[in-house]
Amino acid sequence: MTAHGDGPLRYTVVIPTVGRPSLTACLRALAAAGGPGPVRVVLVDDRRGAPRTPLPVEIPAKLRPVTSVVPGRARGPAAARNTGLRVAGPVPWIVFLDDDVVPGPTWCDDLARDLAAAGPRTGGVTARIEVPLPTDRPPTDWERNTAGLATARWITADMAYRREVLEAVGGFDERFPRAFREDADLALRVRAAGWDLAAGSRTTTHPVRPAGRWVSVRVQAGNADDVLMNRLHGRDWWRRADAPRGRLPRHLAVTASAAAALTCAALARPVAATACAALWLAGTAEFAWARIAPGPRTRDEIISMALTSAVVPPVATWHWLGAHLRHRRTRPLPRPVQAVVPEASGRAVRERVLP
């Protein structure tokens, strides 16, 4: 099977990783998938700390001859994918996978059909992401959050891009340090440059990762990325990316009520302080119930939702305010964008080919 206009199908798979055990399952599924396999697999070891220990992964025998490990810079998945792109080799297509996904049993065949069907102005082809949820109980708040990946557009958990397109728009924007919005930013720049993005037929499973009680607090850092998206793409980027707006306006209001209650109490204005505290309590209770009601309502889940619902609004506000300060001089992107893939801080990328 051939990719339209590209001759025999040739593609490289790039997987940024922080050494999670799920990487082995991802590679096993890739090796077992029927169809033409990748000419190269690049694992970008993006773990923090030194000295660096060997990446904890079992490479299937089928993939060992084509698998390389390259060191990342511990600057997040966007930077790691750029590192992988620079050593991907002269192939027309780069397929990005996350280290916690499981390609389907016919993934390689399906990918070949996706790429063969790509028109000359098709810059990228998405996959179908499936998130398995429990069948014997309602999903938890974290499971519902992860399930949102199934409807996210252009998600780089499994996304194929033409190499020439990535080079034309400058690759991933490394100012996005998390696995959040860096994929939407790239897709919007690709489309602004005149390329189309198509929906593919291949299927990849994204299991729900284990998470602690405070995971919903940690993910509020993504509010900073939304500020950067506003600066770069304008406030209508939500509509163009078909992205949910979330609860930030409510979080800001709840946090403002709490701040006002504390301020009024410090100024010895008990009536105003009580009124503002009541607004804070009502907002927090509404948020907690909105998360508890659709879930399993177990004791642990209720406790987690009650605790984190009080903490999430101020943390979200903190990240939002900090990003406004950090990105205050960021200018909107020109359209169309034409650039080259940035170099890795002037250093050549070192790689180790597995035996």
Question: What number is the average pLDDT over the span 76-100?
Answer: 97
> What is the 3 state secondary structure string of the chain?
CEECCCEECCEEEEEEECCCCHHHHHHHHHHHCCCCCCCEEEEEECCCCCCCCCCCCCCCCCCHHHEEEEECCCCCHHHHHHHHHHCCCCCCEEEEECCCCEECCCHHHHHHHHHHCCCCCEEEEEEEEECCCCCCCCCCHHHHHHHHHHHCCCCCCEEEEEHHHHHHHCCCCCCCCCCCCHHHHHHHHHHHCCCEEEEEEEEEECCCCCCCCCHHHHHHHHHHHHHHHHHHHCCCHHHHHCCCCCCHHHHHHHHHHHHHHHHHHHCCCHHHHHHHHHHHHHHHHHHHHHHHCCCCCCHHHHHHHHHHHHHHHHHHHHHHHHHHHHCCCCCCCCCCCCECCCCCCCCCCCCEECC
pLDDT class of 117 with cuts at 50, 70, 90: very high
Q: pLDDT tens digit string along 216-245? A: 999 999 999 999 999 999 999 999 999 988
What is the pLDDT confidence band of residue 49, given thresholds at 50, 70 and 90?
confident
pTM of the entire predicted model = 0.90
Q: Is the pLDDT of residue 289 over 60?
A: yes
pLDDT-based confidence at residue 298 (cuts at 50, 70, 90): very high
Q: What is the pLDDT of residues 180-220, one digit of tens each?
A: 999 999 999 999 999 999 999 999 999 999 999 999 999 99
Q: Quick one: pLDDT at residue 52?
A: 74
